[in-house]
Chains A and B, each alone.
Chain A
Amino acid sequence: MKINIKHIAKLANLSISEEEEKKFDRQLSIIVKYIEKLKEADVENTEETSQITGLENVTREDKTTSSLSQDEALSNTKNKHNGLFKVPKII
């Protein structure tokens, strides 16, 4: 099964070099071949597990509590303007 590394990298928003592309293609192919092992297992009548300790619908009261101030929230970026995060143009 040939992995389309370029396509995957695009989906993952990762820019990788030609050299990296070749290396990852090689390494990921080996790993994917190993995980194909799962094909041997019979799971026809088995449910999926995503929450391992059986918790469901964990909620809290809809009350606001203290959080970060605007300055604190912006403290780890240079991309800010007028108390807002600056992002690349999307539209």
Chain B
Amino acid sequence: MSLNTLTIKKAKEGLKRKEFSSVDLVKACLSEIEKRKSLNAFITVTEKEALIHAEENDKKIKDGINLSLLGLPISLKDIYLTKGIRTTAASKVLDGYIPQYNAAVVNKLYEAGAIIIGKTNCDAWAHGSSGENSDFGPTKNPYNEEYVPGGSSSGSAVSVAASLSIASMGTDTGGSIRLPASFCNVVGLKPTYGRVSRFGIISMASSLDSIGHFTKTVEDSAHLLSVTAGRDVDDGTSPDEKVDNYESYLGKDIKGLKIGLPKEYFSEGLDKRIKELIEKKVKELERLGATVEIISLPNTEYGIACYYIIQPAEVSSNLGRYDGIRYGSARQNFGAEAKRRIMLGTYVLSSGYYDAYYKKAMRIRTLIKEDFANAFKKVDVLITPVSPTMPWKIGEKFSDPLSMYLSDIYTVTANLAGIPGLSVPIGLIEGLPVGMQIMGPHFSEGKLFQVGQVIEDSEL
């Protein structure tokens, strides 16, 4: 069997029982990466480094050393700084940039014994919902290469979906993990804001960026979060909140669990086939003991407008550092989408417009946060679609930026409220994947895994 198709759990078992080595695992992934080159999922493949690390880890395994991710090949979205390994943000501006330090999460992964197999392709600067805004060419959906894999963590989603790595790290600022997870049939986690350190990860919108990951199963997702979560002194927005025992939520039933369905997420604009599929799954959860209640998140209609003011404002500030002095090339090398967002952000922050746009959006953000807080007084979790549509063909929305932005309609609210969201696969429609989103209060990732695994195990 192809070792690259194993989950974290099965790979760890196999390594422990000496059925295969870490070098075997890495070689299997490298071979698949080469075979599926047409997917354009990687910007940099760290073949040499990965094999050296694998050999070192095989020695550790032989010596009976036990680490959470020992010997497992993982890929990283190319906005994670990796010391000595080219990091481009998928932009021409950083084409030759070699970081002098690792992101905090990268150090955590190394300490847990993980092997970095490469840096994945993404929308440049994480600006996008399809994977088409990369200066290194679009990534393709492994289920049908004419279709988008979703973005902005496009390469990371594909890396797991096509078994090019055992797991992959991404970021989610407005849906950039949950949407590609949904489009590529893998599990995607956006943790609570601040749960995982942002230090050393190229900033997009600092009050919205969330550091998460893609895995093949919910169990793997819980395992990986237990490695990456935790306070980091270098990230002032990472709280002291104790890291939960995420894996203890697995294998539990959902009797008595209160599920809320926000009516605003199931109205017109949602593909009827996706709606039917979700309703079927929710009925199954009811059969397994959960109660379901229709609730309302009344300020949902302002979500996209609010997000597309706050996010570009923060982007325009964060991308100000790319002046070609300490690193990177000239600002005219920014792609069209980056320029659009920088200008939109500059506009809403400029004198005469700041109050009408930015300040107002900050207040609407409070309303959206309160909507969720009120909902969670009545229910334990919320279930919603991830995307209003099925994956679209490459090029179909490219010349219509607003249409691209509207695909984030069900995902931006979680970033505005800082709450966690988990996207789990629930089936295929005409050969293309569909995911379902579970959201909970701040720091309720354990509960999301509990529900997610029940959904994963359920029959339709």
Q: Does B363 contact A (CB under 8 A)?
A: yes
Contact B339 A16 (CB under 8 A): yes
- Of chain A, the residue at the smallest CB distance from B366 is A49
Contact B418 A31 (CB under 8 A): no
Q: Does A64 contact B (CB under 8 A)?
A: no
Contact B405 A31 (CB under 8 A): yes
**Which residues of chain B come closer than 8 Å to A50, judged between CB atoms?**
207, 362
B365: min CB distance to chain A, Å: 5
**B199-239 to A contact mask, C-beta < 8 Å, 1/0:** 00000000100000000000000000000000001001101
**Which residues of chain B come closer than 8 Å to A72, judged between CB atoms?**
100
Tell me the complex Cα distance, A32–B404, Å. 15
Q: Does B417 contact A (CB under 8 A)?
A: yes
B210: min CB distance to chain A, Å: 10
* One of B11-19, B58-66, B304-312, B377-385 at the interface: B304-312
Tell me the complex Cα distance, A75–B86, Å. 13
**Which residues of chain B come closer than 8 Å to A85, judged between CB atoms?**
325-326
Contact B343 A28 (CB under 8 A): yes
Tell me the complex Cα distance, A79–B347, Å. 31
Q: Does B275 contact A (CB under 8 A)?
A: no
B10: min CB distance to chain A, Å: 35
B275: min CB distance to chain A, Å: 24
Partner of B237, one of A11, A20, A31, A55: A55
B 337-374 contacts with A by CB, 8 A:
339-340, 342-344, 346-348, 350, 356-357, 359-367, 369
A34: min CB distance to chain B, Å: 6
Partner of A52, one of B207, B328, B334: B207
Contact A14 B339 (CB under 8 A): yes
Contact B347 A49 (CB under 8 A): no
Contact B418 A53 (CB under 8 A): yes
**Which residues of chain A come closer than 8 Å to B405, judged between CB atoms?**
31
Contact B100 A48 (CB under 8 A): no
B85: min CB distance to chain A, Å: 13
Tell me the complex Cα distance, A43–B364, Å. 7
Partner of A31, one of B101, B302, B344, B363: B344
Contact B347 A28 (CB under 8 A): yes
Contact A77 B343 (CB under 8 A): no
- Of chain A, the residue at the smallest CB distance from B328 is A76
29 A-B pairs whose Cβ atoms sit less than 8 Å apart in the complex: A5-B343, A12-B316, A14-B331, A20-B336, A24-B339, A27-B401, A28-B340, A31-B308, A31-B401, A34-B308, A35-B305, A35-B348, A37-B305, A38-B305, A38-B309, A43-B360, A43-B364, A48-B362, A48-B365, A49-B366, A50-B207, A52-B416, A53-B418, A55-B237, A68-B100, A72-B100, A73-B326, A76-B100, A77-B326
**A interface list, Cβ under 8 A from B:** 3, 5, 8-9, 11-16, 20, 23-24, 27-28, 30-32, 34-41, 43, 46-53, 55, 58, 60, 68, 72-73, 75-77, 79, 85, 87
For the complex of A and B, the 3 pairs showing the least CB-CB separation, nearest first, are A52-B418, A48-B362, A43-B363
